[in-house]
Amino acid sequence: MIPEILHSEVLQTLKSEIGNQVKIISVSPVSGGDINQAFKIQTQKDAFFLKYNFANRFPGMFQTEHLGLDLLAGSKTLRIPKVISNGEADKYSWLLLEFIEQGAVTHKFWEDFGTMLADLHQNSNELFGLDHNNYIGSLHQSNRQHVNWFDFFIEERLQKQLRPAYDKGLADKKIITHFENLYKVLPDIFPTENPSLLHGDLWSGNFLCDDNSRACLVDPAVYYGFREMDIAMSKLFGGFSSGFYVAYNQAFPMSPGWQQRIDICNLYPLLVHVNLFGWSYVGSVKSIVGRY
C-alpha cells in the first residue's frame, strides 16, 4: 500500500532504531490529512505513523516538522509524538513517528489541555520568529526574527499572505488600504509581552486525545510569537470547550481585551485559507479589516 522503496526504507529505519528482529506486520491508511499520504505501520512490538509525499512537492516540509516537534517536546508540557526519523527515498520524502492511540475526551481533558498549553506558552525567546522557516499547511511560513511583535506580525504574517492574495486577484486595493490602516494602530491593540513558543496551527484537527486522556499536539507550525495567536486559532472553527479557556486563563492570565483581539490574530490563518481555498474566506477577512 506504500511504494516498495518506502517500505524498505522504513523497515531499515525501524531495525536501526529498535532492533534487527523487527518485522512490519501490516500497513493501513490513516484518514484526516489532505496534504500528505498517511499510514499506520504495525510491527510485532509497536505501531508507528508514517506520512510521505513527493520530495519535490514541499521541499523541507518533513525536516522542519521534525524540528518543530522536537522543539515542542523539549518544553516537557503537552504530549508530542516521538519522532523516529525523517528522510528521502528515491522521489519520496517521509516522516516516521510513534503512533498515538486515541482515547475518550473528558471535561478533565479540556482543563488539563488548557493548563498545559499555558505551560507551553511560558517557554520564551529573545526574539519573535524562529531560526528557520517552515510550513503552515502546504504554504511556506516565514519566521524571520524581529525584536517586536508588531513588525513580525505585519511583515512575516500578514504581508506574506496578503501579497499572493492580491496577485491572485483575491484581495483588491481597498482591502490593502484597510490593512495599512490596521498596521498603524497595532501597537495600541496588542499588549507588550515576551515571545511565547507556539504550536502555530492550533485547530481541532491538530491535536489528539491519547489513551490516557492527555492532549497530544501534531502538525505544528511552530515559532515564538504572541501567545493569543494559538488561542485565537483554536476559536476559528467553532472553538474548544469553555473549560479549556478557563483553565488556560487561570494558569497564565491573558491581558484584558483578549476576546476583542481574536479577530485580528485570526487574520493570518484566514489569509492562509484565502490563498489555499480561494474566495470563500475573503468575506471573513473583509469584515475584520473593514473596521479600520
Task: Break the chain into its structural domains and give their ranges.
Answer: 4-98, 107-289
DSSP type of residue 90: T
Q: 4-98, superfamily in CATH?
A: Phosphorylase Kinase; domain 1 (3.30.200.20)
Contacts of residue 112, defined as CB under 8 A and 6 or more positions apart, other chains included, come to 213, 214, 215, 247
Q: 107-289: same fold as 4-98? A: no
Would you call 159 exposed, middle or buried from its count of C-beta atoms within 10 A (0-12, 13-18, 19+)?
A: middle
Nearest to 202 by CA among 257, 245, 159: 245
Number of neighbours of residue 253 by Cβ within 10 angstroms: 10
pLDDT tens-place string over residues 213-260: 999 999 999 999 999 999 999 999 989 999 999 999 999 999 999 999
Domain 107-289, CATH class in plain words: alpha beta
pLDDT tens-place string over residues 55-69: 999 999 999 999 999
pLDDT tens-place string over residues 127-168: 999 999 999 999 999 999 999 999 999 999 999 999 999 999
Q: Cell 513517528: give the residue.
A: 97
Q: Is 201 a catalytic residue?
A: yes
Q: What is the pTM of this model?
A: 0.96
234 contacts 160 by C-beta, under 8 angstroms:
no
Nearest to 237 by CA among 201, 261, 213, 283: 201
Catalytic residue among 70, 119, 172, 201: 201
